[in-house]
Structure formats: C-alpha cells, structure tokens
Homo-oligomer: A and B are copies of this chain.
Amino acid sequence: MARQGLTRGDIIAAAIKMIESEGLHNFSLRELASRLQIKAASLYNHIQNMDELYTEVGYYAISELKRAQLGAIAGKRRAEAVEALADAYHRFGKERPEIYKVILSLPMVKNDAIHKAGFDIVEPIMTAMAGYHLTREQMMHLQRVFRSILHGFISQEEAGCFRQYPVDVGDSYRMAVRGFILLLENSEKEAQA
C-alpha cells in the first residue's frame, strides 16, 4: 500500500494545480488520483464527491479574487478605487482564467456556504463605492451593475466573442468602466436631490 498520508487539503491543492495547468474541462478525478499516485476510488476517503471538491476549489478561487481586489483598492477612493478594482478583476480573469471559470460556474443556488462566500465578492465593491454619497439601496443595485459589466466583459473576451471588429479590447474595457463611473456620479446627484 505504501501509504503516503494524504490529507483533504493535499487533494484540494492538487485539484487547484491541475485545473490551472490543464484547464477546467480537462479535469478528472482519475487523472487527479494518478497525479497523487493513488487510485480514483481512494479519493473518496477524503471527499464526498466531485461536486464537493469543486466547491472547495471555488472557496479558494473566491478568496483569491477577494485578496486581489482588496489589495488593489487599498488607499484609494471614488473613481480611482473603482478603476483599480476593475483592473484587478480584469487581471485576475486574464491571468487565472481557469480558476476564474470555477467561480462563474459555482452552484450558487443550492449551496448555502457558497452563497455566503458570495459576499466576499461583493465586499470589495461596496468598499470601493464607499466614497460616493449613495443610499444603501443604490449601492446594492450598483454593485450588481458593476459585477455584470466586469463579468460580462471578461467572459466574452475569454470566449473570443470580441473579434468581430479591429478596435482594441482594452479601450472597450476602459469605456465600460467609464460608463459605470458616469452612472455612479449620476446616482450620487439623484441621491442628493
């Protein structure tokens, strides 16, 4: 048997590594087991099933994204903070596309723990907007708008949906962020009226 004393953490770490290097849709429990020099069935001593493992990778991904975002906005406020946040988000999606995809495909609906982890994604956005004079309700809506813009842009860019025209994709992104800042300023005026 030559047991090596693998832990649950080892398996999650190996899964993350494999997803990052081989791509999310080349991931399989059998190949993961093989890399750990174990049979696939043995994985079930540490995890319930693939979904659970996937969820664990999701926690990691969300915490990494949050870390990158909080780091980006530290010491900044208003437009500068929003732009830095958008940049960090974009960079994360481009530099770690497979890990980013995990976040996107997380089963938010059924899983309560994942649902709570969703607040980790929201928090940096709320912080970045704190410098604007907005109502709580406005911020709740605007947070959704911001996430929509960033997620929509990054996932379409990643999928190759932005090749119809020869204009620079980075310029398009900056325009999208500018649009959001316009909306922020406009909402601020409304709140003060």
Spell out A's residues near B (CB within 8 Å): 104-106, 108-109, 115, 118-119, 122, 137, 140-145, 147-153, 155-156, 159-165, 167, 169, 171-172, 175-176, 178-180, 182-183, 186-187
CA distance A182 to B106 in the complex (A): 32
Q: Which residues of B contact A165 (CB under 8 A)?
A: 140, 143
Pairwise interchain contact A183-B172, C-beta atoms closer than 8 A: no
- Distance (Å) between the CB of A84 and the closest chain B CB? 19
Can you name 27 A-B residue pairings with CB atoms under 8 Å?
A104-B155, A105-B159, A106-B159, A108-B161, A108-B163, A109-B159, A115-B164, A119-B164, A140-B165, A141-B167, A141-B175, A144-B153, A144-B156, A144-B162, A144-B172, A147-B152, A148-B149, A148-B156, A148-B176, A149-B149, A149-B176, A151-B155, A152-B153, A152-B155, A155-B155, A175-B187, A182-B183
Q: Give bound CA distance, A9 to B150, whole Å.
A: 38
Contacts of A152 in B (CB 8 A): 147-153, 155
Chain B residues within an 8 Å CB radius of A162: 144
Q: Which 9 A-B pairs have the closest CB atoms?
A: A152-B152, A148-B152, A179-B183, A109-B160, A148-B153, A108-B160, A140-B165, A151-B152, A144-B172
A51 to chain B, nearest CB (A): 13
**Please, which residue of chain B has its CB at the minimum distance from the CB of A153?**
B148
A176→B118 contact, CB < 8 A: no
Query: Is the CB–CB distance between A108 and B145 below 8 Å?
Result: no
Residue of B nearest to A184 (CB): B179
Q: In the complex, are the beta carbons of A144 and B176 less than 8 A apart?
A: yes
Across-interface contacts of A179 in B (CB, < 8 A):
145, 179-180, 182-183, 186
CB distance from A148 to the nearest CB of B (A): 4
Apart from A108-B159, A179-B183, A179-B186, list 12 A-B contacts with CB within 8 A.
A105-B159, A106-B159, A109-B159, A109-B160, A115-B164, A141-B167, A144-B153, A144-B162, A145-B153, A151-B155, A151-B156, A175-B183
